[in-house]
DNA sequence: TGTACATCAGTGAACGCGCGTTCACTGATGTAC
DNA sequence: TGTACATCAGTGAACGCGCGTTCACTGATGTAC
């Protein structure tokens, strides 16, 4: 999809001296807003962001080295947000398995609410440059670690076998909720069963199955 | 990623009269090969395909209305291939649960072997036009129906409860293997546990859990 | 057996597009004296 | 209190790129007479 250009983009008044950093925040906000509104990473071009802020394209380069850096920063914010809503939801119950359910639901809900961010975070081709990879890995791990902790809590509570590897179980649960989330995003017209029930049923079945495993 | 252009693309000899259809097949083959080699849908441009075949870009339009139609046809072939390898693998055991395991493994293996095709089929933004959607839905369903049948076999064999809805269970199992497959593709550098064991464990846990469900 | 002709299978050049990025510049604003 | 000046926060125009697609054409090939 190509971006539509405004005939006369409204011009933002130039920042006063010492307030140049204001633009940086506005660029990030505009980039995220474009991602939400267009639902298309391709539409978030340097020119489109500049238009949205009311500034000329070269002004972007006063605050970001290149396009990669801009997108990366937007992703970092989304990662933080996903981690935040997951933690918040998980705090909704003191029962570790119920907490895991809530966490799973929140994860899927984040994907539904921010499909293009989710796509960039988890469904994109891995970046070509090592720099991107490092940043990606660190952030994935940060978010993932909380899930591993949640699995440990289930093991401690006896809902999962004492001998279970928390990391492996976390990977399995991640794959599970990611599978639901990404399919909902990619195939919105498929006749899906009720979403929350799907998440709950599958998580429950998995936890039960792992609990009774060989 | 931008495609590199060859300085002097080798020229394909013109087909003889009545053999114009040969080019169609060569175009499809080249498009699929480009998808495999570059691992990037963006690299499969009309010009790149034409270069690969040894023909000029307008020649493509003698056989395909536009780019969309060309990509769609490549996808259809991949869908058929995925269905074929799944069925073949599933035939490897007469035990319905073991058969399901084999099917799951084959599905994941297909994704690993054809990451860019898998991405186009299952991880892409849903197409904007109704035409694309229809074709997509039909093909998804064709492949999906075999999974529903496999679930029915498990129910008949008593491995899953008599009251289970085969469609819902199939959706859950699809989400499960898709989750593993798509994460392996998107995050190849994540420290994944052994792949086949992951698929088997998760599928088994899920089937056990569903069997002992409320 | 020869030749005019229709057709098939393409070619070559160009269209307008949006993209990321660079470069030389400008004009308002605060500050030193 | 006034003014020269450095600096900050941008602008305007252009670069070369690859893209999908269109259009007028051409040259080999088979066929009808």
Rounded mean pLDDT of chain B?
91
Q: Which residues of B121-156 are buried (b: 16+ CB within 10 A; e: fewer)?
A: bbbbbeeeeeebeebbbebbeebbeebbebbbbbbe
pLDDT over threshold 90, residue A154: yes
The answer to whether B202 faces chain A, any CB pair under 8 Å, is: yes
DSSP H/E element including A33: helix A21-38
The answer to whether B194 faces chain A, any CB pair under 8 Å, is: no
Determine whether the interchain pair B201/A1 forms a contact, defined as Cβ–Cβ distance below 8 Å: no
Q: Do B82 and B40 meet the contact criterion of CB atoms below 8 Å apart?
A: no
Reduced to 3 states (helix: H, G, I; strand: E, B; else coil), residue B129 is: coil
Q: According to the model, what pLDDT value does residue A9 have? A: 58
Determine whether the interchain pair A171/B187 forms a contact, defined as Cβ–Cβ distance below 8 Å: no
Once rounded to an integer, what is the mean pLDDT over residues A156-176?
97
Smallest CA-to-CA distance from B48 within B72, A128, B56 is with: B56
Residues in chain B closer than 8 A to A126 (CB atoms): 186-189
In terms of pLDDT, which residue wins out, A133 or B43?
B43
Q: According to the model, what pLDDT value does residue A126 have? A: 80
Q: Do A150 and A101 meet the contact criterion of CB atoms below 8 Å apart?
A: no
Q: According to the model, what pLDDT value does residue B102 have? A: 97
Beta-carbon contacts of residue B162 (< 8 Å; ≥ 6 apart): B155
Q: Is the dihedral of CA A10, A16, A18, A22 positive or negative?
A: negative
Once rounded to an integer, what is the mean pLDDT over residues A19-35?
96
Alpha carbons A178 and A174: distance in angstroms, whole number:
6
Residues in chain B closer than 8 A to A183 (CB atoms): 122, 174-175, 178
pLDDT over threshold 50, residue A2: no
| Angle, vertex CA B97, rays to CA B93 and CA B101, nearest 5 | 75
User: If chain B, 214 residues long, is cut into consecutive pieces of 10 residues, what is the mean pLDDT of each piece?
Assistant: 50 88 97 95 96 97 96 92 97 97 98 96 80 69 93 97 96 98 94 96 96 80
**Considering only residues 1 to 30 of chain A, which have any Cβ-Cβ distance to chain B shorter than 8 Å?**
1
In terms of pLDDT, which residue wins out, A206 or B140?
A206
Q: How far is A142 from chain B (nearest CA, A)?
A: 13
* Residue whose Cα is closest to the C1' of C22: A58
Q: According to the model, what pLDDT value does residue B140 have? A: 74
Determine whether the interchain pair A189/B124 forms a contact, defined as Cβ–Cβ distance below 8 Å: no
Determine whether the interchain pair A182/B39 forms a contact, defined as Cβ–Cβ distance below 8 Å: no
pTM of the predicted model, to two decimals? 0.94
**Of A128, A186, A201, which is closest to B126 when you measure between CB atoms?**
A186
Alpha carbons A42 and A38: distance in angstroms, whole number:
9
Q: According to the model, what pLDDT value does residue A4 have? A: 44
pLDDT tens across B166-181, in order? 999 999 999 999 999 9
pLDDT tens across A75-85, in order? 999 999 999 99
Q: Do A125 and B115 meet the contact criterion of CB atoms below 8 Å apart?
A: no
**Alpha carbons within 13 A on the beta-carbon side of A84:** 6
Mean pLDDT check: name the lowest of A56-70, A158-172, B95-109, B120-134: B120-134
pLDDT over threshold 50, residue A67: yes
List of protein residues whose beta carbon is under 7 A from strand D: A 11-12, 14-23, 55-59, 62; B 2-5, 14, 16-18, 43, 45-48, 57-58, 60-61, 66-68
Rounded distance in angstroms from the CA atom of residue A12 to the C1' atom of nucleotide D3: 31
Once rounded to an integer, what is the mean pLDDT over residues A171-176?
98
pLDDT tens across B89-130, in order? 999 999 999 999 999 999 999 999 999 999 999 999 887 666
- What are all long-range contacts of A156-162, with beta carbons under 8 Å and residues at least 24 apart? A156/A96, A157/A95, A157/A96, A157/A97, A159/A96, A159/A97, A159/A207, A159/A211, A160/A207, A160/A210, A160/A211, A161/A210, A161/A211, A161/A213
Rounded mean pLDDT of chain A?
91
Rounded distance in angstroms from the CA atom of residue A59 to the C1' atom of nucleotide C23: 13
* Residue whose Cα is closest to the C1' of D29: B17
Alpha carbons B85 and B113: distance in angstroms, whole number:
12
Smallest CA-to-CA distance from A92 within A110, A106, A78 is with: A106
> How many other C-beta atoms lie within 10 A of the C-beta of residue B165?
12
């Amino acid at each position: 999809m190509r971006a539509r250009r405004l005939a006369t983009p409204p011009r933002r008044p130039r920042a006063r001296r010492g307030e140049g950093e204001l633009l940086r925040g506005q660029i990030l906000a505009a980039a995220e807003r474009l991602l939400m509104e267009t639902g298309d990473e391709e539409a978030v071009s340097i020119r489109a962001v500049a238009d949205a802020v009311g500034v000329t394209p070269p002004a972007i380069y006063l605050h970001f080295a290149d396009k990669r850096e801009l997108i990366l920063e937007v992703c970092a914010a989304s990662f933080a947000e996903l981690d935040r809503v997951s933690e918040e939801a998980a705090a909704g119950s003191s029962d570790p398995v119920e907490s895991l359910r809530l966490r799973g639901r929140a994860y899927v809900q984040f994907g539904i609410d921010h499909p293009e961010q989710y796509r960039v975070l988890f469904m994109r081709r891995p970046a070509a440059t090592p720099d991107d990879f490092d940043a990606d890995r660190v952030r994935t791990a940060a978010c993932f670690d909380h899930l591993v902790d949640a699995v440990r809590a289930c093991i401690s509570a006896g809902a999962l076998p004492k001998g279970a590897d928390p990391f492996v179980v976390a990977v399995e649960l991640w794959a599970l909720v990611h599978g639901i989330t990404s399919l909902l995003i990619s195939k919105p017209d498929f006749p899906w069963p009720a979403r929350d029930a799907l998440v709950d049923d599958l998580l429950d079945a998995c936890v039960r199955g792992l609990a009774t495993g060989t």
